[in-house]
């Protein structure tokens, strides 16, 4: 089972701009994070993943870095960072940085030099090409709408950006780029950070010759193009980074890798690969996307059987060979309770059920800020209330195509990244206690009902349920390392599985919907001796475990020792 601290950990993701504002400018900051460390410690998390806090002009909330070794001025100073790291360590927690190695900001000095002239020594730090037939060099489409190419009239060439035009892609074929990035990673490790989430790492290598994609309209937000995703050389580069830098530190690493299944993921995380500890997979994030062609915005109802297939495959393939990173939400996705649960009538039980799911799978569980109090999607009336560059580009593109406003807004209400980015709801005071000023993005209007203070006071809250799940993980190795086995693969409402380690077995029963299906104990499982570890409802007196009628969104976890 190869024990590691990062397998036994629970990670909490902070989106700093929306977490806590300490100085009333409406923007979350590092002092704000420091002021909430006791809260996180109390919740029981081990690792804090902080989304990018480097110097940035903020076109993509810090994912456009203009200086890797400085702090975004809105967030504070390097002294604030050092204090934050120290305070995290004092509390026995760890810090995972979010590092963007695929691209920089267009304001990074490297890019400013690169742009200056074709002969500049930094020209080759980025990917520049001549246009073709009066247009861009190829037909690739950007994650954030439109071509990946931006024309620069000064030098009459185009530069490549897989994301927004403010995020030019670095040229990883240039050894100087690699050396500079390695040095920078090392610089942070020497400061004592405990790990990295490598943003968009699957895309650092592009297909040789940058040929046209066969189907340019197959949206990269559903299926990352073969042209720039998970290409063989990514592994060479990651192994190089590992051998030269990462190997020397006891850290945790996770890569953002869209467009792959578990077999391919083993190339990143397989034992002995010398690359990453785990990756974020995206297969379950596209369950509700209508087709590869329309991208993430065009929604269809998702199917539980499909979810089981995907998750089971990851559980089984990676068992004893790699490690999973389990999540239902992050800063790029809608809120989990709105998407996979029910935020209207069963918000509390469904959020607890989803938490039970993520925390009882094999792999490291990730909590996204606010998930622990069941924060929900938001539906602003007007596009003017939105801030996310992806959302704004999508709106523009669809308007130009003549799509009716209400259709565009419906898609945005369901899928905009701003759903997860509204300020953290700390209490019932104005602006949810996030800021004393004007928040950079409007607070969700449900903050009077959904907030931390209220959740902490209520022993039945989602917050306390999370706390208990985390405690259980510390107590029972089977939760961390047990082997997963799916039960009832074809049941349309119940997701059930066992996890087995030596003489211990967990039985997890999850009702994913609002009906009351009956869970029939499968052959080979005996209810005798099963101890109920956690549940989101009180068990009924005298109930029959072999034929258990579940309540809407009911979740139960049993432990049995042999
Ligand atoms: C990743 C980040 C996302 C960002 C993009 C470009 O997908 O999670 O927030 O916009 O990379 O850096
Ligand atoms: Ca601030």
pLDDT in tens, 251-307: 999 999 988 999 999 999 998 999 999 999 999 999 999 876 667 899 999 999 999
* Local confidence band at 225 (pLDDT 50, 70, 90 cut-offs): confident
Confidence band for 221, pLDDT divided at 50, 70 and 90: low
Q: Would you say the CB of residue 63 lies under 6 angstroms from ligand 1?
A: yes
Domains of the chain: 109-160 (3.90.400.10), 482-561 (2.60.40.1180)
pLDDT of residue 291: 74
Q: What is the mean pLDDT of residues 455-470?
A: 98
Residue-level pLDDT at 358: 98
Q: Is 199 a catalytic residue?
A: yes
The residue nearest atom 9 of ligand 1, judged by CA position, is 332
Asked if residue 460 has pLDDT above 90, the reply is yes
User: One of 74, 256, 388, 418 is an active-site residue; which one?
Assistant: 256
Model pLDDT for residues 339-387, shown as the tens digit of each residue: 999 999 999 999 999 999 999 999 999 999 999 999 999 999 999 999 9
The predicted structure's pLDDT at residue 220? 61
Would the pLDDT of 224 be above 80? no
Per-position DSSP letters for 353-382, written without gaps between them: HHHHHHHHSSSEEEEETTGGGT------SS
Percent share of the chain, pLDDT over 90: 94
Confidence category of residue 145, pLDDT binned at 50, 70, 90: confident
DSSP 138-200: S--B-TTSSBSEEEETTTTEEEE-SS-TTSPBB-TT-HHHHHHHHHHHHHHHHHT--EEEEET
Ligand 1 atom index nearest CA of 162? 6
**Pocket of ligand 1 contains residue 199 by CB under 6 Å:** yes
Tell me the pLDDT band of 219, cut-offs 50, 70 and 90.
low
Q: How far is the CA of 418 from the centre of ligand 1 (A)?
A: 13
pLDDT band at 188 (very low <50, low <70, confident <90, very high): very high
SS3 126: strand
pTM, 2 dp: 0.97
pLDDT digits (tens, 9 = 90+) for 405-415: 999 999 999 99
Q: CA-CA distance, 278 to 478, in Å (whole number)?
A: 19
pLDDT at position 395 is 97
């Amino acid at each position: 089972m190869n024990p590691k601290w990062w397998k036994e950990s629970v990670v909490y993701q902070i989106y700093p701009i929306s977490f806590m504002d300490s100085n009333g400018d409406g923007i979350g900051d590092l002092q704000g994070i420091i002021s909430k460390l006791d809260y996180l410690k109390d919740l029981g998390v081990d690792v804090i993943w902080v989304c990018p806090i480097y110097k940035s002009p903020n076109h993509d909330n810090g994912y456009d870095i203009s200086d890797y070794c400085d702090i975004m001025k809105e967030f504070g100073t390097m002294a604030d960072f050092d204090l934050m790291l120290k305070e995290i360590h004092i509390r026995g927690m760890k810090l995972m940085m979010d590092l963007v190695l695929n691209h920089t900001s267009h304001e990074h000095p490297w890019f400013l030099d690169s742009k200056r002239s074709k002969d500049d020594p930094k020209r080759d730090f980025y990917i520049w090409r001549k246009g073709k037939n009066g247009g861009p060099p190829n037909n690739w489409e950007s994650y954030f709408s439109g071509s990946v190419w931006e024309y620069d009239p000064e030098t009459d060439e185009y530069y490549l950006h897989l994301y927004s035009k403010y995020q030019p892609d670095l040229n990883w074929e240039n050894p100087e780029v690699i050396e500079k990035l390695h040095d920078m990673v090392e610089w942070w490790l020497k400061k004592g950070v405990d790990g990295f989430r490598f943003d968009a790492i699957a895309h650092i290598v592009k297909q040789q010759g940058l040929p046209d994609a066969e189907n340019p309209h197959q949206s990269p937000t559903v299926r990352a193009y073969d042209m720039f995703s998970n290409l063989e050389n990514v592994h060479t580069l990651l192994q190089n980074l590992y051998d030269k830098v990462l190997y020397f530190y006891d850290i945790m690493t996770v890569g953002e890798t869209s467009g792959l299944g578990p077999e391919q993921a083993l190339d990143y995380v397989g034992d002995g690969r010398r690359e990453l500890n785990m990756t974020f997979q995206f297969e379950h994030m596209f369950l509700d996307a209508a087709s590869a062609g329309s991208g993430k915005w065009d929604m269809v109802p998702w199917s539980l059987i499909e979810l089981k297939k995907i998750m089971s495959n990851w559980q089984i393939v990676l068992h004893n060979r790699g490690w999973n990173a389990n999540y239902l939400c992050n800063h790029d996705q809608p809120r989990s309770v709105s998407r996979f649960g029910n935020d209207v009538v069963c918000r509390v039980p469904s959020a607890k059920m989803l938490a039970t799911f993520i925390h009882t799978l094999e792999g490291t569980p990730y909590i996204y800020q606010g998930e622990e109090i069941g924060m929900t999607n938001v539906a602003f009336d007007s596009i003017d209330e939105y801030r996310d560059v992806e959302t704004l580009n999508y709106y523009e593109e669809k308007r130009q195509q003549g799509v009716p406003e209400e259709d565009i807004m419906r898609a945005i209400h369901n899928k905009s990244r701003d759903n997860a980015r509204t300020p953290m709801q700390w209490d019932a005071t104005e602006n949810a206690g996030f800021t004393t000023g004007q928040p950079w993005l409007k607070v969700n209007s449900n903050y009077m009902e959904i907030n931390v203070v209220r959740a902490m006071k209520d022993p039945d809250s989602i917050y306390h349920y999370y706390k208990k799940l985390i405690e259980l993980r510390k107590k029972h190795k089977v939760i961390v390392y047990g082997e997963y086995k799916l039960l009832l693969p074809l049941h349309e409402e119940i997701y059930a599985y066992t996890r087995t380690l030596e003489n211990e077995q967990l039985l997890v029963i999850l009702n994913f919907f609002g009906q009351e299906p009956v869970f029939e104990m499968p052959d080979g499982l005996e209810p005798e001796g099963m101890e109920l570890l956690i549940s989101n409802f009180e068990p009924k007196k005298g109930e029959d475990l072999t034929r258990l009628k579940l309540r809407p969104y009911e979740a139960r976890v049993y432990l049995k020792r042999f």
